[in-house]
């Protein structure tokens, strides 16, 4: 294998794929990135056997071929190289010679054949969604994913394709975030899946502002393929034949993940159908007040009390060994007095990740779940803390 690639392009690709690589693995090849050169592309692949990422970049291929190189080391070398073209030449013993300007490196690789291939998801249900929309849905929900390994079905996001909608839900049993988006797909494609946290994090990294994501869902795997924006622009030009060729190359990022097996809890059941009180609040103001009061929270006293009285909200954090904080907000509230305690982090999470100016809080009493809503298909259910 012998290729020439520009530093910026290969660095960008490595940045994208190297997160998947685990530093502690029993299988040494999993620390490597698979490089495959053919036609006019270099394909970079990493996997931890649960999640795999593949990224294609354009390259001048002088001799096609494949190898695998230690991902972290390769990445740190490329990062330090001067700007410009990098030449990579690999011999039959998988020794890679990397040269760029006045720099020269030789690193030891492993045979490409030993690298576990990413599964090909040809058969399955297909969906299409704008990358920006999916990214937005993940941002509004993924923070609520549970990291409690004993509740493994909650260690990911629920994705439901049903009734011409994509519904994404994440919960850790203490709060639940739900986002919805209209989506066109045939009725036969109605399905649900739980995508594990690691895949969600990678997906968040790779989703951009533009382009579309093609989703393929099978029994136990899910693939996300993304179109590069530059390739997209190029696709508009050229002959029809070139067009199809470019179209094939446009799919330049692929993420394949195993799904979490098991049944996601019935989240509909825990969303309160009606609450006693509803109040409109300025998102930024509430977030700032919570951030300030939470300065006085500790590991053992991690709650703030919210007192809703006529046209007034006061937020109080108190702990005997630290002290007390109080924030007062003038609000438009005509309901009965309600006092309820929440973990401030859990309440700040959605506020940080929404961009609406106004949020609505729905409350019933100090033991019932509170609901945060916005003028968009999103909702957040949060369980109070029982005051002692």
Segment near other proteins (CB under 8 A); pick from 12-20, 35-43, 134-142, 166-174: 166-174
Q: Does 99 participate in binding other proteins (rule CB under 8 A)?
A: no
Binds other proteins by CB under 8 A, chosen from 151, 162, 210, 292: 151
Give the binding-site size for other proteins (rule: CB under 8 A): 27
Q: Does 386 participate in binding other proteins (rule CB under 8 A)?
A: yes
Q: Does 385 participate in binding other proteins (rule CB under 8 A)?
A: yes
Q: For the residues of 279-333, what is the DSSP string, one character each?
A: EEEEHHHHHHHHHHHGGG--SSS--EEEEEETTEEEEEEEETTTEEEEEEEE-B-
* Tokens at 312, concatenated: 């007034």
Task: Look at residues 117, 42, 35 and name the one whose alpha carbon lies nearest to residue 74.
Answer: 35
Q: Does 322 participate in binding other proteins (rule CB under 8 A)?
A: no
| Contacts of 151 by beta carbon, 8 Å cutoff, 6+ apart | 172, 173
- Closer CB to other proteins, 27 or 367, in the complex: 367
Among residue numbers 40 through 69, which ones bind other proteins (CB under 8 A)?
none
Binds other proteins by CB under 8 A, chosen from 2, 174, 205, 251: 174
Q: How far apart are CA 109 and CA 121, in angstroms?
A: 28
State how far the alpha carbon of 223 is from the alpha carbons of 43, 92, 125, in Å: 17, 32, 10
Q: Does 263 participate in binding other proteins (rule CB under 8 A)?
A: no
Determine if residue 163 is left, alpha or beta; phi over 0 gives left, psi from -120 to 50 gives alpha, anything else beta: left
Q: How far apart are CA 342 and CA 316, in angstroms?
A: 11
Closest separation in Å from C-beta 216 to other proteins:
31
- Closer CB to other proteins, 113 or 321, in the complex: 321
| Contacts of 336 by beta carbon, 8 Å cutoff, 6+ apart | 276, 277
CB atoms within 10 A of CB 94: 19
- Closer CB to other proteins, 161 or 380, in the complex: 380
Binds other proteins by CB under 8 A, chosen from 38, 99, 285, 319: 319
Binds other proteins by CB under 8 A, chosen from 1, 303, 348, 353: 303
Closest separation in Å from C-beta 341 to other proteins:
5
Segment near other proteins (CB under 8 A); pick from 90-98, 171-179, 186-194, 247-255: 171-179
Closest separation in Å from C-beta 296 to other proteins:
13
Binds other proteins by CB under 8 A, chosen from 49, 95, 163, 270: 270
Which position has the token pair 């007192």?
307
Task: Look at residues 65, 35, 66, 34 and name the one whose alpha carbon lies nearest to residue 47.
Answer: 34
Binds other proteins by CB under 8 A, chosen from 343, 344, 361, 379: 343
Give the interface with other proteins as residue ranges (CB under 8 A): 148, 150-151, 171, 173-176, 265, 270, 300-303, 319, 341, 343, 367-369, 381, 383-388
């Amino acid at each position: 294998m012998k290729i020439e690639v520009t530093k910026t392009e290969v660095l960008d690709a490595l940045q994208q794929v190297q997160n998947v690589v685990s530093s502690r693995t029993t299988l040494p090849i999993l620390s490597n990135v698979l490089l495959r050169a053919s036609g006019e592309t270099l394909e970079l692949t990493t996997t931890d056997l649960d999640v795999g990422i593949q990224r294609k970049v354009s390259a001048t291929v002088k001799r096609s071929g494949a190898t695998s190189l230690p991902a972290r080391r390769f990445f740190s070398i490329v990062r330090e190289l001067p700007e410009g073209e990098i030449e990579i030449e690999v011999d039959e013993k998988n020794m890679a010679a990397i040269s760029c300007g006045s720099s020269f490196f030789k690193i030891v690789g492993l045979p490409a054949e030993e690298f576990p291939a990413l599964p090909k998801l040809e058969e399955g249900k297909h969906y299409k969604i704008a990358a920006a929309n999916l990214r937005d849905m993940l941002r509004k929900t993924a923070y609520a994913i549970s990291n409690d390994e004993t509740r493994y079905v909650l260690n990911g996001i629920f994705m439901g394709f049903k009734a011409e909608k994509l519904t994404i839900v994440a919960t850790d049993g203490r709060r639940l975030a739900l986002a919805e988006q209209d989506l066109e797909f045939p009725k036969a494609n109605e399905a649900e899946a739980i995508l594990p946290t690691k895949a969600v994090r990678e997906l968040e990294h790779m989703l951009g502002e533009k382009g579309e994501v093609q989703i393929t869902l099978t029994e136990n795997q899910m693939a996300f393929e993304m179109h590069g924006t530059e390739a997209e622009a190029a696709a508009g030009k050229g002959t029809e034949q070139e067009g199809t060729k470019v179209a094939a190359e446009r799919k330049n990022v692929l993420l394949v993940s195993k799904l979490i097996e098991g049944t996601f809890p019935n989240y509909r059941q825990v969303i309160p159908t009606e609450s006693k009180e509803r109040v409109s609040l300025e998102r930024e103001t509430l977030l700032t007040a919570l951030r300030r009061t939470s300065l006085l929270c500790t590991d053992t006293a991690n709650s703030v009390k919210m007192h809703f009285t006529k046209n007034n909200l006061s937020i109080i954090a108190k702990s005997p060994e630290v002290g007390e904080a109080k924030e007062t907000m003038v609000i438009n509230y005509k309901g009965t007095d309600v006092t309820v305690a929440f973990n401030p982090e859990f309440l700040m999470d959605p506020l940080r990740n929404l961009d609406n100016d106004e949020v609505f809080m729905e409350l019933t009493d100090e033991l019932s779940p509170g609901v945060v809503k916005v003028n968009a298909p999103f909702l957040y259910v949060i369980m109070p803390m029982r005051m002692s």
